Structure formats: C-alpha cells, structure tokens
Amino acid sequence: MKLATFKNGTRDGQLLVVARDLSVAADASIIAPNLRCAIENWTDAEPPLQELYRALNAGAVAGAFPLEVSRLHAPLPRTWQWLDASAFHSHGDLLEKVFGSTPPPQKRTVPLVYQGAGDDFLGPVDDQPLPSEADGMDFEAEVAIIVDRVPMGTRATQASSHIKLVMILNDTSLRVRAMHELRTGFGFGQCKPATSFGPVAVTVDELGPGGWRDGRVQLPIHVHWNGREFGHPHCGAMGFSFEQLIEHNATTRNLSAGTVIGSGTISNENFREVGSACIAERRGIELLDHGAPRTEFMKFGDTVRIEIFDSAGRTIFGAIDQRYVRASAA
Amino acid sequence: MKLATFKNGTRDGQLLVVARDLSVAADASIIAPNLRCAIENWTDAEPPLQELYRALNAGAVAGAFPLEVSRLHAPLPRTWQWLDASAFHSHGDLLEKVFGSTPPPQKRTVPLVYQGAGDDFLGPVDDQPLPSEADGMDFEAEVAIIVDRVPMGTRATQASSHIKLVMILNDTSLRVRAMHELRTGFGFGQCKPATSFGPVAVTVDELGPGGWRDGRVQLPIHVHWNGREFGHPHCGAMGFSFEQLIEHNATTRNLSAGTVIGSGTISNENFREVGSACIAERRGIELLDHGAPRTEFMKFGDTVRIEIFDSAGRTIFGAIDQRYVRASAA
C-alpha cells in the first residue's frame, strides 16, 4: 500500500491512497482525515485503506485523480518524535578518520541517534529555505520507518510488528554548525533544519521480493546533485536493523504512534565505487586521497534528487527533488 | 491567567481555566478543546480565555468545580518540539570542573540546548516509571516557556511577543546513561525519559510584580526530595534569556506553535547556601569538597516536589509531586 498527504491547507494535510505506479490517487479522508490519525488508529484504519488501494490499482475507484507531486506534503507533515540514527558504520568510520576524532564509545553495539525536529517536515519537491551558504549546506539521503505506539522496554525481537510504513528522506545538514554542535555533546539543533520526505509512505511489501529483510531496506538509493549522479549506495548495509533502533529508542521511554526513525546517511564500504549519499562523505574521501576536500558544499539554486527503484526498475516512493534557496527574513 | 489540562481520555486532554489560587477550575473546551489547539490559535483563543479567567476569579462561573491535581495532565500533554537548554552557567562550570571535561566552545555566547521527546509528557503527580535504579535516576527542577509559531530567523529583540505561557517542570535524567550519550556528541536520548510539568501554565503577569524581567523568571524554585528541602536556587540567574533561547533555536528552522523551551536545571553560584535543583550538582560539590560524592541517586519509591511561590508566598503553578517507580515490562 502507498499513502500520501495532499496539501489541503491544514497542518496535517489530507490522506490519499496512491496507486502502485504513482499515476493516480484517491481521497482516503473518509477512513482517516490524515496519516497522523491513521497511524494512531492503525488497526482500524489499515484494512479499509488496503481495500481502497486494491480498488485503486484495479481502476475501480470513482473520483481517482492524477497524482501531482507538487501538491504533496511529506506523508507525515509533522509528528511527535523524529529520531535519526547514524547506522551505517562505513560513514562513521570514514568521518572519524578524516577528523581524527575519538570513536564514540561502543560504536558497534550502541546505535548513535539524535532527536530532530518533527514539527515542520517538507514535501518532496518543496524548496529548502536556509539562511546562509556559509553554514555548509549538505543533503543526506536516508530511509526511515513510521511506527505505531511502542511501549517502553520493547525489545528488538518484539519490534517488527511496530513497523508500519517506510519512507525516503533528505536530512539536510549544515556541516559548519554541526562541527560546533558535535563538540557540545548536546546533539544537533541549528545544524538540522527542516527534513524532507519522498512523495509516498509504503508498507514493506511494496519494496518487492527481497526488498525488505533483516529489518533493513535491501535496495540501493540513487542520489543526483544538480542533475548528475552522486551515488547509489545500498541501504542493506545498515549496521543496526530498524528493530534494533526501536529497542534502543524505547529503552527508557514510550514512542508515540507516528514516531519516525531514520537510518542515517546511506553509506557503503566501497564508497569509491558506489559513491555517497552526502557531500560530507565525498569530502572526507577527497581529504584522505588528496590531502584536502575538492567538492564544495551546496549553493543556493542547487538541487538534489533522491529515489529508490525496485528490482524491476520501477520507482517505489517517487522522487525527492528539491531546490535549496535563501530564506526570506523573519 | 492560569490554564490546565484535564485527563479526559484523549491524548491532548481537555482545556481548563484555573482560578488564581488554584482552588477551582472551569471547562474551557468550548473556546479551545485543548491547550495545543489554543496555542495554535492564540490570537483568537486568548481573549475569551482571559474573560473566563476573570469571571472564575470573581466566583461568577456556573459549573466551576474544585481543582483536583491528580486528574491533571501536563498543561501540554504532548507537543511538537521540546527544546531544553542548560542556561545556568554555575551548573555547567561546576560539572566541567568535576569531570575535568573540556568546556563547550563559546559556552558564554552560544546556548547549549538538547532536543527532547515532546510526545509523552507526564502530569504533575503522575508516577515516573523507569527501568532501573542503576541508570542513576535524578530530578532537574526547571522553568519553561510555551511559544506560538516562531518563524526562522526571529531575533531575540523580536522574541518576547512569542512567549505566551510559563511552566515549571521536572526534567528527569538518567546520569549513567547521560555520561555515555554526552560522549557521542549526538545528544540525549535514553538518558531523558518522560518529562513532568506543574499543574498549570501561566501568563507571565501571574509571576507578580518583578516576577518576570529580562526574559527570565525572577523567583526561587523550591525542591524537596523525600520531603526534605534540597534547594531553592533563584531562576533569575539564567545565563541566557528565553528571548535569546528563542533566537538560538529559530536560527535555521521554524518553531511550531506549542514549542516548549526549558531553562535547564536551575543553579546559582552560591550553591552551597541555596542548595541545588538536581542531585548531580550536589554530588559534584561533594566530589570537590570531599574527594567523592556522598549522596546517592534516587531509589524507586523516592519522591520529588517542585514549586515556585510569588513574593507573597502563594504558590504560582501548584506543585510537581512525583514518585519514581519501576516500569512494568513492555
């Protein structure tokens, strides 16, 4: 099943069911007004949403309409917790080497996760407004899950039933600000502006045969910067599964229904062959190879495109395709 | 004006207006069903809420009923962003000395703020369920503001009009987990379980003459642990004003209406006279004075009480009065 959120003027938007090939959509607000309500009442909402999805794919929904991605919010325009991991070891290992920094304690056994702002997500083709190029603007291509309510103390072995939907996202990062914030120990604030999500959230079966295994998306993510391929690292290389990330995050707290948990920048050990999903990683490689980074961070007007295809080459989530622009004054 | 939230079985609760002396309350849900809706529509909601408050204090509201604190949620049971600073320099300076840690860069000019979980706040007398005494359970008495929507780029000089309500809170911290998380640079996750708030949120005029000045609460906070006074440090010693914290947090992002910004543990330079608002600080003093901490962290069954009084000795927010209990299995 694929779900999207139409910009109807409300903060939570209007729930749509979207056909598998993303050609058409149907209003689902009679089932749940928005995805936040649907995920908070998933047991009741899922069966009729699935039924509508089957009918839509069969061309049997009166009032189905062509999907216009520009009119979509993030699938969840806002949510209660946004927890983003850094679960790809090749990414962390590289950056430690580059910066000569101390490896985080227990880095192979305890996930790194920061708590982000979940209140103001951007749609798949919304502009990304930012105050200054001097902040070191970067993209980060990631995958994420949406969970229903996870009680405190839930273990990884109990966690997979809480994974309801999967998304792709662009976790925009301001690298100059990140360097400062990393040193404070207090986590990421100013360096993490609004996060953008792909057009649709999908149930794991939509990833196709073998597309979801071991609590991981088992497909490459394709990243283009200003129209040129930047990388296509494989999402299956996650050092921790999403079930492990759920256990980690629910150790001392409940996770409300609608909590979004991200993978961190997709990264592979063979980054020289497959490329990267963020500029910081490419700059790290250049620093190792040439003694200095050669690739600059983003400029206003730059675009990034992020997409995942199934084994038959069909887009699963549609594309994130964003332009970075200068924010207007408050 | 004083506002509270009745536990009516919904996640956001039911909005109440509460009399100045906290004796009685009136249903305000005809104006806004809950405080989240009120703060999202503050311009429309505030005048009728103020009118109801005046009538309630005059004894002129039919259906007013005795306030039962045990039936209250946090004023905002859940919200979109929960940003908690560490704005008292004496606290940070002491802990740096104790741990021999490197001071955060620009610690006097750039506030330290972590992003917390705003989805599952606790009411003023709710139990605090936690998994293990071995985590180093501690309380932190703080003050916080609730803002309406703050656009990205808002400066401190523009910020005071966004401060709509003030609260007290207990930012429970797990010190053993915090030591690990501080070293990762990714901020606080497992070490920050659910946060509890005092019975009512109040407009700044309720702090009394001189009770709110320079973007700070200008009154001491009183902390009791298991019925014995633990400290009464003054909230006016904040090293950054709430306006400065708003500017800091809105530098690269919008803050949604309902965002809660906390002060961090209240702490004064003369902590030996006024005591502390968290156990970690007292342990730090003991380490300096005696070479080792003498006070242990909390045990299950322990209670903490947090309260602020106006210059005439009247409680402003009512009291947080919580018991720490072992969490049941998920």
| Matching residue, tokens 């992020």 | A306
Kindly state the average pLDDT of the residues A58-81. Answer: 97
Contact A78 B80 (CB under 8 A): yes
Size of interface A-B (CB pairs under 8 A): 174
pLDDT at A102 over 90: no
Pick A105's closest partner by Cβ from B183, B189, B192: B183
Kindly state the average pLDDT of the residues B292-310. Answer: 97
Pick B158's closest partner by Cβ from A183, A186, A330: A330
Q: Write out chain B residues lying below 8 Å of A251, CB-based.
A: 131, 190
pLDDT at B311 over 80: yes
Kindly state the average pLDDT of the residues A52-59. Answer: 98
DSSP assignment of A135-180, as one string? G-EE--EEEEEEE--B-TT--GGGTGGGEEEEEEEE--EEHHHHHH
List, for residues B177-196, the tens digit of each pLDDT value: 999 998 898 999 999 999 99
pLDDT at A111 over 90: yes
Q: What pLDDT, on a 0 to 100 scale, did the predictor assign at position A142?
A: 98
Q: What pLDDT, on a 0 to 100 scale, did the predictor assign at position B137?
A: 98
pLDDT at A104 over 90: no
| Rounded Cα gap, residues B278 and B220, in angstroms | 14
Q: Write out chain A residues lying below 8 Å of B104, CB-based.
A: 183-186
Tokens standing for A161?
Answer: 């039933």
Q: Which residues pair with A163 in a beta bridge?
A: A147
Q: What pLDDT, on a 0 to 100 scale, did the predictor assign at position B329?
A: 76
Question: At residue A6, what is the residue type?
Answer: F
Over its C-alpha atoms, chain A yields an Rg (Å, rounded) of: 19
Q: What pLDDT, on a 0 to 100 scale, did the predictor assign at position B99?
A: 78
Query: In the 8-state DSSP scheme, what is residue B101?
Result: P
Q: What is the mean pLDDT of chain A?
A: 96
| Rounded Cα gap, residues B253 and B316, in angstroms | 33
Q: Write out chain A residues lying below 8 Å of B110, CB-based.
A: 180
Going by pLDDT thresholds of 50, 70 and 90, the confidence category of residue B20 is: very high
Q: What pLDDT, on a 0 to 100 scale, did the predictor assign at position A49?
A: 98
> SS3 of B235, please?
helix
Residue of B nearest to A250 (CA): B190
Q: Could you write out the three-class secondary structure of B17-83?
A: EECCCCCEEEECCCCCCCHHHHHHCHHHHHHHHHHHHHHHHCCCCCCCEECCHHHECCCCCCCCCEE
Tokens standing for B287?
Answer: 């380490």
Q: What pLDDT, on a 0 to 100 scale, did the predictor assign at position B100?
A: 81
Query: In the 8-state DSSP scheme, what is residue B11?
Result: S
Pick A183's closest partner by Cβ from B40, B105, B189: B105
Q: For Cα atoms B199, B200, B202, give the angle at the middle one, nearest 5 degrees.
A: 155
Kindly state the average pLDDT of the residues B54-74. Answer: 98
Going by pLDDT thresholds of 50, 70 and 90, the confidence category of residue B52 is: very high
pLDDT at B97 over 90: no
Percent of chain B with pLDDT over 70: 100
Q: What is the mean pLDDT of chain B?
A: 96
Phi/psi of residue B236, each to 5°?
-70, -10
Q: What pLDDT, on a 0 to 100 scale, did the predictor assign at position B105?
A: 80
pLDDT at A329 over 80: no
Going by pLDDT thresholds of 50, 70 and 90, the confidence category of residue B167 is: very high
List, for residues B218-261, the tens digit of each pLDDT value: 999 999 999 999 999 999 999 999 999 999 999 999 999 999 99
pLDDT at A56 over 90: yes
Q: If residue B96 lies in a helix (H) or strand (E), which one and from where to where?
A: helix B89-99
pLDDT at B133 over 80: yes
Q: If residue B282 lies in a helix (H) or strand (E), which one and from where to where?
A: helix B279-290
Q: Which residue from B136, B119, B90 is spatially nearest to B265, judged by alpha carbons? A: B90
ipTM: 0.95
List, for residues A177-213, the tens digit of each pLDDT value: 999 999 898 999 999 999 999 999 999 999 999 999 9
Q: What pLDDT, on a 0 to 100 scale, did the predictor assign at position A148?
A: 98
Pick A327's closest partner by Cβ from B102, B120, B152: B152
Q: What pLDDT, on a 0 to 100 scale, did the predictor assign at position A101?
A: 81
Contact A182 B187 (CB under 8 A): no
Q: Which residue from A206, A140, A263, A222 is spatially nearest to A4, judged by alpha carbons? A: A206
CA distance, residue B313 to nearest chain A CA (Å):
36
Kindly state the average pLDDT of the residues B107-123. Answer: 96
| Matching residue, tokens 């009136």 | B26
Kindly state the average pLDDT of the residues A112-123. Answer: 97
Q: What pLDDT, on a 0 to 100 scale, did the predictor assign at position B82?
A: 98
> SS3 of A94, please?
helix
Going by pLDDT thresholds of 50, 70 and 90, the confidence category of residue A98 is: confident
Q: What pLDDT, on a 0 to 100 scale, did the predictor assign at position B96?
A: 87
pTM over 0.90: yes
CA distance, residue B259 to nearest chain A CA (Å):
9
List, for residues A152-163, the tens digit of each pLDDT value: 999 999 999 999
Kindly state the average pLDDT of the residues A11-27. Answer: 98
Percent of chain A with pLDDT over 70: 100
| Rounded Cα gap, residues A87 and A81, in angstroms | 18
In this structure, the number of other CB atoms found within 10 A of the CB of residue B24 comes to 17
Query: In the 8-state DSSP scheme, what is residue A312?
Result: T
pLDDT at A246 over 90: yes
